[in-house]
Amino acid sequence: MPCYEVNLVSVEFKAENEDLLKRAATALNWDYFKNGLGVQVGPVVIQGERASASSQASINVLKRAYSFEVVKAAAKSKGWAGSWSGSVTSNKLQASFKKF
C-alpha cells in the first residue's frame, strides 16, 4: 500500500520591503505573485510575517536572497560598491565593498 506524506513548514519571515523581495525572486528566477493579503514567491507563500512552504530549504533560500538584496541596497545607499562571489542559492556568498 503506497503511502506519502505532505509536510508544510511555517516560519517567521519579516520581508518589509516589497521591491527587495521582488529582486530576490528575480535573482532566484522564481515567480512573484501578490494575491490579496499574501505574496507567493516561487514555492514560498508569505502572509503577514509568516512564510510557509513544503520545504524549509525553500524558505532558507528565499531568506538568503532577500538578505543579499537588503545588503546590496544598504551598501548602495551609503555610497559603497560591492563585488560578489558565490550564489544566493548556496550557503557560501561573499561580498567585498569599497567606497566609490
All structural domains of the chain with their residue ranges: 9-99
Q: For 8-22, 61-75, 78-92, which range has the lowest pLDDT when averaged over its residues?
A: 78-92
Please name the residues in contact with 8: beta carbons below 8 A apart, sequence gap of 6 or more.
52, 53, 54
Q: For 39-43, 53-57, 78-82, 94-98, which range has the lowest pLDDT when averaged over its residues?
A: 94-98
Tell which residue, 89, 78, 74, has the closest CA to residue 29. Answer: 89
Q: Tell me the pLDDT tens digit for each residue of 17-46.
A: 999 999 999 999 999 999 888 999 999 999
Tell which residue, 92, 91, 88, has the closest CA to residue 24. Answer: 88
